[in-house]
A and B are shown apart, each in its own frame.
Chain A
Amino acid sequence: MSAVTVHLFASYAESFGAHNLKIDLAPGGTVADLVAELRSLPGSFVLPSAPRVAVNQKFAAPDQPLSHGDEVALIPPVAGG
């Protein structure tokens, strides 16, 4: 199993009721697998069909594999400016 820390912000943090989640993934698990895991949690209704995800502070594609210890963040629609 690989354990990844998922950071949540803004509307996502409110909906999941947490700013950080630890998620266990099977070896070779991808960003898409992680999102699928998150969809089983309460509050996940807030996620759009294809949420933006960052891995180690860079935007990542759904097929990107995750490694133990990766810093993953779910990025709600940004609203800076």
Chain B
Amino acid sequence: MIRSAIVEREINIGAIIDAVKSDDAGGVSVFIGTVRDVSDGRGVAKLEYEAYRAMAERELAAIVNEGVEKFAVRSIVAEHRVGELSVGDVSVAIASAHAHRTAAIDCTHFVIEEIKKRVPIWKREHFADGTQEWVDPTARVEAPAP
């Protein structure tokens, strides 16, 4: 099973894990991204994800195929949700299955990092105080490590 999708519905994590599990895959690595309630110290009420749908589907499929080639995973499913999401909702989920854990973990890590660099999806934060803004990761300064 090699599958990727941009979806508007809720992401079903159990279904994604079931889709990649198999008797010859001893390791399944899962990443789940959820909507956090705080951004740069401001309370977030909800998020709105917009995509350049056709290109996002194509780019996500390309990343998943690169993961399969690089790490030789048996199965992988990656889904990214778009539309309006509430705090705690799952925005992205990736599950990779391989005979051994390291390749499964490395593949899942690769896919989420590439999604963040290449898939044309944007998010607008709606803050608890009623204001809203598009997130620009290139404009953000990382907070110093504690």
Chain A residues at the B interface, C-beta cutoff of 8 Å = 7, 9-11, 14, 48, 54, 57-59, 73, 75-81
Contacts and interface: CB of A to CB of B under 8 A. Distances in A.
Contact of B116 (A14, A59, A78): A78
Given A10-B124, A14-B134, A81 B52 contact: no
A79 B55 contact: no
Interface residues of B, number: 29
Contact of A11 (B91, B112, B136): B136
A73 B50 CA distance: 14
A11 B139 CA distance: 13
A9 B51 CA distance: 8
B52 A9 contact: yes
Contact of B55 (A48, A73, A76, A81): A73
A80 B138 contact: no
B80 to A, nearest CB: 6
B52 A79 contact: no
Given A9-B122, A14-B134, A80 B116 contact: yes
B123 interface: yes
B52 A73 contact: yes
Interface of B: 33, 49-52, 54-56, 58, 80, 91-92, 112, 115-124, 134-139
A57 B55 contact: yes
* A-B pairs, 5 with minimum CB distance: A80-B121, A10-B122, A57-B55, A11-B134, A79-B135
Contacts of A14: 134
Given A80-B91, A80-B121, 18 more contacts: A10-B122, A11-B122, A54-B55, A58-B55, A58-B58, A59-B118, A73-B120, A75-B52, A78-B116, A78-B117, A78-B118, A78-B137, A79-B134, A79-B135, A80-B56, A80-B115, A80-B120, A81-B80
